[in-house]
Amino acid sequence: MLAFRRPQELANPLVFFVMAVSLFPLGVSPEKSFLAPAAAGVVWVASLLATLLSLDALFRADHEDGSLEQLTLAPQPLFILVLAKVFAHWLTTGLPLILLSPVLALMLHVDESLLGVLMLSLLVGTPVLSLIGAIGAALTVGLRVGGVLISLLVLPLYIPVLIFGTGMVQSAAAGMDYTATLAMLGAILALSLTLAPFAAAAALKISVSN
């Protein structure tokens, strides 16, 4: 499960994340007046796309070498195994993104006091991205070109996470209480944590049987 032996695949989403974020000051404007308010959104969108980029690989290798069949025939319930895989995915993409985000946020002139809030929003938000993404990845694993389809399937479901994630940082920037948005984000996490593994497991069963 831990295919740490392919470092370039591991680094791929991170490199994408860094590049996407650093292109903004170059492409739009390096002015603080523009970057500071946009920063949370930029970091969030970039991490969302970086996660999306890494999703296709979640089950594909397993499907190709037959491990997926072995997983579905394991005595453990499939959703637990899916949960383990998603957790591993989050550890290798979500967590590094969170750790990188303050560095990039500083580059975008984000106020230091907001770094904690940004990281917190990502900490609650990125597991949701991995969980929902797993459903998309599981549905498309049997198809030859799954990548585009995953984006189409998953992106609409990512939008609430994005809205609440950036909303949280923005309300903190405006000096308002952000616990309400944090609670919403947490509720989304709880919902996807309980439902997504089952949905992904069911989708995997369909994919394997084809």
Partner 1 sequence: MTGQTPLLEAKNLQCERDDRILFENLSFSVDPGDVVQIEGPNGAGKTTLLKLLCGLAPLRQGELFWRGERMSQARPQFLSSLLYLGHKTGVKALLTPLENLRAWCAQREDVNEERMMAALETVGLAGYEYSPCNSLSAGQQRRAALARLHVSSAPLWVLDEAFTAIDKKGVAQLEALLREKANAGGAVILTTHHSLHLSGEVRRIQLGAAS
Query: Which residues contact partner 1 by CB under 8 A?
Result: 1, 3, 5-6, 61, 64-70, 72-76, 208-209
In terms of CB distance, is 77 or 156 closer to partner 1? 77
CB of 109 to partner 1, least distance (A): 41
In terms of CB distance, is 102 or 146 closer to partner 1? 146
**Separation between Cα atoms, residue 55 and residue 125, nearest integer Å:** 16
CB of 77 to partner 1, least distance (A): 8
In terms of CB distance, is 63 or 127 closer to partner 1? 63
In terms of CB distance, is 22 or 72 closer to partner 1? 72
56-to-33, 74, 115, 170, 192 alpha-carbon distances in Å? 37, 23, 30, 31, 19
**Separation between Cα atoms, residue 118 and residue 14, nearest integer Å:** 17
CB of 146 to partner 1, least distance (A): 18
177, containing H or E segment = none
**Separation between Cα atoms, residue 97 and residue 101, nearest integer Å:** 6
Q: Which two tokens stand for residue 72?
A: 């579905």
The alpha carbon torsion through 77, 146, 158, 122 (nearest 10 deg) reads: 70
CB of 203 to partner 1, least distance (A): 14
